[in-house]
Structure 1
């Protein structure tokens, strides 16, 4: 191998190589700086809002502010549902220390149930130590005062004020206003995002139907926190918007008078202003104290309500219903006139029994031998069954059903409560949809006296009666008259749907009105209620039978077992010459409408027109005291006491 060849340096090439490398390095530096500049530009400009929000969220915590719930007033401005100051007991676990050390001593001052303690312990274990945990939701004034004296002994335990829903009249409006209750998982799912701060929500009645209006809008406070999430102070606030107030058409005095008029009897009643469709009073008896549900009802109290055979939690007006009996005869008479099958002067012979062609079995009247020749007015006043057996048979069930729908049966009245029962107007189509049996002519006959498959609510009866009183104008029934958005704001009336007419013949309606007037002031079935009245009344009694009386012309309801006694009904309006109130009364197991339901209606009329309030009737053998004793407000339910009134056997 020869000697290694010696390489010669090339300064020009090396200089060019150095420049290329320097330029490449410079380009890399420039690109890096440009990328860094773009990155900073992205952070500072393009995504400024997002990162500023994150930064703010790390520093500021939003604490929700629950709005005050809207108030509910009667038509005269008297409060029916309000918010009262209350206290709950909250604990900051890290400040309070070991609960086993202080809980027993605190329980001697504030009554703590095992459920309160169990819930507190579970929540405490699942919550960071500096966040407050509720120990007891409702602290009485006496307990709050006792705790305030010894507060220094319990660091980390605080009384927190809040507004609690209160119903000052208890059971009196239980089925109208309803109640609020603790919010649950299902409620939160229905409400959606942003409502988790709420503690209560409307469960029944107007509280539920107008939840969106009464609830208001949640506000929040901006609380500055440190890196551990501890509150350092408030830095801003978005105020909550209180819920709107509601003014009802219901009158507190009339509501109380209606309840007292029932005494110890169970049932339902509705009073309506026929000129507007406003509900003036509405009761379902027995009622219950709605305050028991606000912060969670006890198992014992709930069992008392659910096991009561009188079903105090059941809203008879909205969810119930039954055969209307003879109370619908005026409307069937109107259908006979409008269909051309009858005239007001035309007389029909009542022999006391009606027979279908070719059928030996008859349909009897309430009077042996019948009423003789009667016209339309007398048929209403004396409640002549055979007149309506024959009329219904001639009309046929399809035409009969058509007219009853025209009068508002088989449809909702529009009352602003949820779940209203539509009832049932019997028809071939309805029976075909609900059974496999054909329609029989005898079913048409008994439909003519409000029996059989009929299901009508007191609301429907009151609405139809109000239409008769108001010259045929069928109106939507409603409880809420107006709302206001703030204490100083004016009341804004709620818009109502226009009425529809139930007849095109005023003379036909007048004949029906005269028949209802004779029911009370002539030779009718409710003449006793006219005694001493300084005003005219028009009405119709009714009896919905629990058992057939085809074998006996007269049955003393007092001789029957209580659960088999007839339902007593009455519908009417007053003053007959210028109606301002129409009522429907249903007395469960009351016997006969003329002797049981009509006197209740008279007391309601007197209360509204004369300001004469009936005295409450105490229940016989009152039950043992209980926080949830059902009541007909103010008297305990006879079902709770085991006592039942003896029905008047007078037909």
Structure 2
């Protein structure tokens, strides 16, 4: 018999209560969700409104940089040394080109394209959006522009774009002064970002060397920008607002381009360096380093072959010998040694010494040779400079001692940068006990003091240091900072602002000491026994100077070296320091002729040609006297300084 189970009775009240609880929980969940959504919207609309509004605006508005016009560079007479020349480049918009290899092949039939340009174009395509133009060739000739204009319809996506590029009208003549600009690379961008100047990364060029580098912050100006509305693909739609760029400041240099050219011509193809300075201001009148190079090659990106040719040239055309070069000064230190001895009270202009041809330290067998076999006999200060008597300065060096030599020459500007407005200046080497101990961990020996007196041994000077010291001798005995920029000008029509310079530093305590040294330098050029008398013969003005010859090889024992019998690369360096006119100097000069062999035969003639170019020919006598003026008895012509027919050769110190 089937058994029936009783069914439970429904509890409507319990079910209703359960439904209400569930409904309340669901409503609370929905309310919490709506509250969270409202809080999120509130945070977006209130707290983060500015951030997201800026992001949205940045997606819609693009800031395109406006490149400022780079400042110009002039010489002291207003001649342009660096300007911004109009040029035309060839751009390609990749998205408008169906077959890029075919297009490039067709373009090569009308435009000269190098492998470097094609390689740079391919690299640029990889990181650029297809609708943006990419430069294929930076400089088009007029013939290339004309050929492209005729077949323009055959090259969709190809554009000829005008722009301004840097140009150096004098090329090699001013390369080591003005320098050059080049394309901004990643190292430049990183350096700008570290200085908080990332906005300048938009510039096409940056100063790499010379004044272009040193005064980069003034020459480049300030970048402008324009606000461009774009679509979602970042394509430009319209320009909303424009903020003009601020042009860079112009530089007015102390360089005289006519003297600069004359200085290059004076070397007659020889390698070397020369600097001419105004003794009373420190302004550099001319400065050459030979051989040189064409800075225009670097502006648009130098080709690999051109750079390799310059970089591998054994003559080092890229190397600025005036600022970076180091040369033993040889006998050109003798005027400064004489001044140090006078200032220290160890000698007077009348102090004499007997030169027998060989100088020996007490108790030492080694002899230090004078350049003239048998010596010069008894000489005073004037003749020691005129004849460049080594023995006089061997003895003076021992009287001074290396400690006083290093201290006195430090006051004269040796062994440290001059502060010229060019980057990377070398310090040279001023010999001292401390320097040798630091460099070689060795003690100083008396024999090293002896040869320091004639600019040999550890001595290393730059032509710039010699020029600064010579300007001190030619001027008022004060050391002035050599500089290239006289004034800056912030735009056309603005007033020129003189470039501030540090005050001159007094070096000479007694003007009579300076006069004694100057007398010896004049005797060097015009005296009957002067080592440079042949170079000064026939001049209509007085000049003062000192020749020097720095050995590149050492002699053995008491042997004498004939520089003319040495291989070219081992021949002595020929140097000269001097100024003119001697009675009222307007130019101080330091130069070196590499492998010249002798200062008197190689360097002094170069100096004479430079002095002649600066001072000019003698004033012409009037053709006729005025009719009303009585005829005057002509004044007697001063006798030409006596010059030996065969001037003594430069001492081979």
Normalised-by-shorter TM-score class:
0.7 to 0.9
Structure 1 match to 2:444: 439
* Offset at residue 34 of structure 1 (A): 8.3
Deviations 1:223-244 (A, max 9, x none): 1112222211211112122222
**Equivalent position to 1:578, from 571, 574, 584:** 584
Which structure 2 residues correspond to residues 454-533 of structure 1 after superposition, within 5 A?
A: 454-523=459-528, 524-533=530-539
* Offset at residue 46 of structure 1 (A): 4.5
Alignment partner of 1:417 is 2:422: yes
Indicate conservation of the 8 Å contact 1:92/1:156, yes or no: yes
* Offset at residue 409 of structure 1 (A): 0.7
Alignment partner of 1:106 is 2:112: no
**Unmatched segments (≥5 aa) in structure 2:** 619-646
Which structure 2 residues correspond to residues 258-337 of structure 1 after superposition, within 5 A?
A: 258-337=263-342
Deviations 1:369-428 (A, max 9, x none): 222221111211111111111111122111111111111110111111111111111112
- Greater Cα offset, 443-452 or 144-153: 144-153
SS of the residue 2:458 aligns to: coil
* Offset at residue 556 of structure 1 (A): 4.4
* Offset at residue 125 of structure 1 (A): 4.8
Alignment partner of 1:210 is 2:215: yes
Deviations 1:525-580 (A, max 9, x none): 11223323222211111111223467678754333211122111111111111111
**Equivalent position to 1:607, from 597, 604, 613:** 613
Alignment partner of 1:384 is 2:389: yes
Structure 1 match to 2:379: 374
CA RMSD of aligned residues (A): 2.8
Structure 1 match to 2:181: 180
Q: How far apart, CA to CA, are the structure 2 residues paired with 1:529 and 1:177?
A: 32
* Offset at residue 520 of structure 1 (A): 1.4
Structure 1 match to 2:551: 545
Indicate conservation of the 8 Å contact 2:531/2:648, yes or no: no
Structure 1 match to 2:70: 69
Q: Which has the higher contact order (CA 8 A, sep 6+)?
A: 1
**Unmatched segments (≥5 aa) in structure 1:** 613-647
Give the direction of change, closer, same or farther, for the CA distance of 1:359–1:178 in structure 2 (3 Å limit): same
Structure 1 match to 2:172: 171
Structure 2 match to 1:51: 52
Structure 1 match to 2:131: 130
**Equivalent position to 2:239, from 234, 239, 255:** 234
Q: How far apart, CA to CA, are the structure 2 residues paired with 1:115 and 1:309?
A: 25
Structure 2 match to 1:560: 566
Q: How far apart, CA to CA, are the structure 1 residues paired with 2:9 and 2:446?
A: 132
Q: How far apart, CA to CA, are the structure 2 residues paired with 1:134 and 1:173?
A: 29
Q: How far apart, CA to CA, are the structure 1 residues paired with 2:461 and 2:122?
A: 52
- Greater Cα offset, 227-236 or 327-336: 227-236
* Offset at residue 303 of structure 1 (A): 2.6
Structure 2 match to 1:598: 604
* Offset at residue 3 of structure 1 (A): 12
Q: How far apart, CA to CA, are the structure 2 residues paired with 1:302 and 1:459?
A: 27
SS of the residue 2:199 aligns to: coil
Give the direction of change, closer, same or farther, for the CA distance of 1:354–1:155 in structure 2 (3 Å limit): same
Indicate conservation of the 8 Å contact 1:257/1:604, yes or no: yes
* Offset at residue 29 of structure 1 (A): 10
Structure 2 match to 1:346: 351
SS of the residue 1:138 aligns to: coil
SS of the residue 2:177 aligns to: coil
Structure 2 match to 1:645: none
Give the direction of change, closer, same or farther, for the CA distance of 1:275–1:122 in structure 2 (3 Å limit): closer
Give the direction of change, closer, same or farther, for the CA distance of 1:323–1:119 in structure 2 (3 Å limit): closer
Give the direction of change, closer, same or farther, for the CA distance of 1:531–1:114 in structure 2 (3 Å limit): closer
Give the direction of change, closer, same or farther, for the CA distance of 1:77–1:26 in structure 2 (3 Å limit): same
TM-score, normalised relative to structure 2:
0.87
Indicate conservation of the 8 Å contact 1:363/1:550, yes or no: no
Q: How far apart, CA to CA, are the structure 2 residues paired with 1:600 and 1:4?
A: 129
Q: How far apart, CA to CA, are the structure 1 residues paired with 2:9 and 2:560?
A: 145
* Offset at residue 487 of structure 1 (A): 1.9
TM-score, normalised relative to structure 1:
0.87
Give the direction of change, closer, same or farther, for the CA distance of 1:340–1:122 in structure 2 (3 Å limit): closer
Give the direction of change, closer, same or farther, for the CA distance of 1:24–1:391 in structure 2 (3 Å limit): same
Give the direction of change, closer, same or farther, for the CA distance of 1:92–1:8 in structure 2 (3 Å limit): closer
- Size of the aligned set, in residue pairs, is 611
Q: How far apart, CA to CA, are the structure 2 residues paired with 1:140 and 1:327?
A: 50
* Offset at residue 196 of structure 1 (A): 3.2
* Offset at residue 439 of structure 1 (A): 1.8
Indicate conservation of the 8 Å contact 1:556/1:649, yes or no: no
Indicate conservation of the 8 Å contact 1:392/1:400, yes or no: yes
Q: How far apart, CA to CA, are the structure 2 residues paired with 1:184 and 1:3?
A: 90
SS of the residue 2:178 aligns to: coil
Indicate conservation of the 8 Å contact 1:364/1:550, yes or no: no
Structure 1 match to 2:400: 395
Q: How far apart, CA to CA, are the structure 1 residues paired with 2:304 and 2:43?
A: 61
SS of the residue 1:395 aligns to: helix
Deviations 1:469-526 (A, max 9, x none): 1121001111112112212221111110111111211111111111111111223211
- Greater Cα offset, 273-282 or 589-598: 589-598
Give the direction of change, closer, same or farther, for the CA distance of 1:165–1:117 in structure 2 (3 Å limit): same
Deviations 1:554-612 (A, max 9, x none): 75433321112211111111111111110001111112212221111111112112179
Q: How far apart, CA to CA, are the structure 1 residues paired with 2:598 and 2:102?
A: 67
Deviations 1:409-465 (A, max 9, x none): 101111111111111111121111121433221111111111111101111111001
Q: How far apart, CA to CA, are the structure 2 residues paired with 1:125 and 1:497?
A: 51
Q: How far apart, CA to CA, are the structure 1 residues paired with 2:521 and 2:544?
A: 5
- Greater Cα offset, 27-36 or 447-456: 27-36
Alignment partner of 1:201 is 2:202: no
Structure 1 match to 2:362: 357
* Offset at residue 245 of structure 1 (A): 1.4
SS of the residue 1:139 aligns to: coil
SS of the residue 1:512 aligns to: helix
Q: How far apart, CA to CA, are the structure 2 residues paired with 1:149 and 1:505?
A: 78
Q: How far apart, CA to CA, are the structure 1 residues paired with 2:398 and 2:101?
A: 80
Give the direction of change, closer, same or farther, for the CA distance of 1:293–1:55 in structure 2 (3 Å limit): same
* Offset at residue 307 of structure 1 (A): 2.8
Alignment partner of 1:140 is 2:141: yes
Structure 1 match to 2:633: none
Indicate conservation of the 8 Å contact 2:116/2:303, yes or no: no
Q: How far apart, CA to CA, are the structure 2 residues paired with 1:72 and 1:392?
A: 46
